[in-house]
Amino acid sequence: MLIENLIHRFELVKERNPLHANELLDYIQKSYIYGELSIVEYKELFFELDKLKAKKPNSFFVKQDLFLLKNAN
């Protein structure tokens, strides 16, 4: 039920269907950052998406690592 509600909310905002669970993961992370989801809601949705094998792309982690290294100097 949680995922169905999330998909519905995604469709209302984006005016299209999500292409993959990874896209829903991005959506909930942005929603949490912008204060649209509480930490409890975020965790519940995150664990449901994790069951669906949603992952951040490797390029996200590479960019984050480079950002941290660049700012450490």
Taking the C-alpha atoms of residue 25 and residue 31, their distance in angstroms, rounded to an integer, is 10
**Residue 13 scores a pLDDT above 70:** yes
**Residue 62 scores a pLDDT above 50:** no
Cα 1 to its chain centre, rounded Å, is: 18
Question: What's the domain count of the chain?
Answer: 1
Global confidence as pTM = 0.74
Whole domain around residue 31: which residue ranges? 2-72
pLDDT in tens, 24-49: 999 999 999 999 999 999 999 999 99
HSE-CB at 49 with a 13 A cutoff on CA atoms is 23
- Residue recorded with tokens 């469709």: 11
**Residue 9 scores a pLDDT above 60:** yes
Q: What pLDDT shows up at residue 61?
A: 47
Helices (H), 15-73: 21-33, 39-51, 58-72
